[in-house]
Amino acid sequence: MILQLLEYLSANNSIANNIPLINFEGKNKNYITNILINYDEMKKIIKNPINIFKIWNIIDIGKILYEKNEVIYINDIIIDFPINFYLTLLIQNDRDKINFSYSFQYLKKNIEQILSNSNKEYYILIVSKIFLILLDNYTNDCYNPSYREETCKDMEHKIKVILNNNVIYQNFDFKHQNIEEIYSKIIKDLIIKNKFEKYEETIEIVEQIALKNIDITKNIFDDIIKLFEDEKIREKYLISEEMDFTDKNKVNFYYLFLKYVFKSSIFIYNFDLFLKTRKFLIDKINSGYIIYHFYF
């Protein structure tokens, strides 16, 4: 039952639910923790693979692995990059210890996927960062019997080549930025550069970085909030008068943010810009104003 509860919480945006670190105590502690650190056992209970990695992110699995002196072996080959995003977060948050182990084939299949989509610049930026973190974790796993030094170096070289040919790569401090910071910069650039006015172009970026399948982390959320401390940015997106409904940049911003970035209405109550716009909309609707007719 506890695992089903964790799956529900993790699948419904842990940062929106403000989930604290969970301590497992009582007579079933060993039984539960032994399942949590066994990927194959987790798969029998959690049917959606991405939720396994989300669960590990909300329960501080690194602490459990440290106490048990264990490593999680991922016996599948996962090329779904939203799942690898969550795996990367886990690795990134505990770089001094190897908590996750996977095969050389895992890396091989992922780089094949990257190379076959080299025309998608935002996708390449994200998956390349993910891959390099996975590669680093793999090469530092001293117990990995399938470690192939020369091939791993060749993989790293191929990633560097593909990045150097990427138009947007130079806009990022790729070496020093972690995966969350890269995501955050992409989202903030959409805001700063008024990309929301170009709906199709924005949707393409959103789809390339799989925002539909990834919940923003607290670090990403906090970074976005800071951007709106700038009064010019706030004014650019605030809906405070009727004519704002004809501003495609503003209307698309709210629609795309709520659908792809925030995904939960609870964020509105933590975001002053959304609160002010919400109040304006409610007041207009209560006064009999029909927004749909005005905009369309």
13-22, 146-155, 280-289: least confidently modelled range: 13-22
Mean of pLDDT values over 37-61: 92
- Same domain, yes or no: 62 and 81: no
Instruction: Tell me the C-alpha distance between 128 and 126, whole Å.
Output: 5
Mean of pLDDT values over 246-253: 91
Confidence at 17, pLDDT banded by 50, 70, 90: very low
Q: How far is CA 129 from CA 46, 86, 126, 224, in A?
A: 27, 13, 5, 21
pLDDT digits (tens, 9 = 90+) for 55-93: 999 888 999 999 999 999 999 999 999 999 999 999 998
Query: Above 70 in pLDDT, residue 14?
Result: no
Question: Which tokens hold the place of 278?
Answer: 């919400």
Enclosing domain of residue 17 = 1-70
Query: Above 50 in pLDDT, residue 33?
Result: yes
- Same domain, yes or no: 131 and 83: yes
Residue 133 included in any domain: yes
Residue 215 included in any domain: no
Mean of pLDDT values over 164-179: 94
Domain boundary among 41, 70, 99: 70
- Same domain, yes or no: 81 and 151: yes
- Same domain, yes or no: 58 and 82: no
Q: What is the pLDDT of residue 180?
A: 96
Mean of pLDDT values over 22-45: 80
Instruction: Tell me the C-alpha distance between 200 and 198, whole Å.
Output: 6
Return the higher-pLDDT residue of 126 and 245: 126
Question: Which tokens hold the place of 63?
Answer: 């602490």
Mean of pLDDT values over 232-255: 90
Q: What is the pLDDT of residue 25?
A: 57
Read off the amino acid at residue 253. Answer: F
Mean of pLDDT values over 211-232: 91
Residue 66 included in any domain: yes
User: Is the Cβ–Cβ distance between 102 and 74 less than 8 Å?
Assistant: yes
Instruction: Tell me the C-alpha distance between 246 and 291, whole Å.
Output: 10
Give me the chain's average pLDDT, please: 86
Mean of pLDDT values over 283-290: 78
User: Is the Cβ–Cβ distance between 211 and 82 less than 8 Å?
Assistant: no
Query: Above 50 in pLDDT, residue 19?
Result: no
Q: How far is CA 177 from CA 167, 183, 219, in A?
A: 18, 10, 13
- Same domain, yes or no: 87 and 55: no
- Same domain, yes or no: 65 and 107: no
Residue 245 included in any domain: no
DSSP single-letter state for residue 191:
H
Domain boundary among 150, 166, 182: 166
Reduced to 3 states (helix: H, G, I; strand: E, B; else coil), residue 73 is strand
Question: What one-character-per-residue DSSP string does 25-71 give?
Answer: -STTHHHHHHHHT-HHHHHHH--SHHHHHHHHHHTTHHHHHHHHT--
Positive or negative: CA dihedral 256, 215, 180, 182: negative
Neighbours of 114 (CB within 10 A): 21
Q: Is 234 exposed, middle or buried (0-12, 13-18, 19+ CB in 10 A)?
A: middle
- Same domain, yes or no: 5 and 44: yes
- Residues belonging to the chain: 296
Residue 2 included in any domain: yes
How many independent structural domains does the chain possess? 2
Tell me the whole-structure pTM to 2 decimals. Answer: 0.88
Q: What is the pLDDT of residue 18?
A: 44
- Same domain, yes or no: 108 and 38: no
Residue position matching structure tokens 């982390």 = 217
Reduced to 3 states (helix: H, G, I; strand: E, B; else coil), residue 256 is helix
Confidence at 285, pLDDT banded by 50, 70, 90: confident
Residue 46 included in any domain: yes
Mean of pLDDT values over 142-167: 88
Q: Is 38 exposed, middle or buried (0-12, 13-18, 19+ CB in 10 A)?
A: middle
Q: What is the pLDDT of residue 288?
A: 76
Confidence at 50, pLDDT banded by 50, 70, 90: very high
Mean of pLDDT values over 185-200: 93
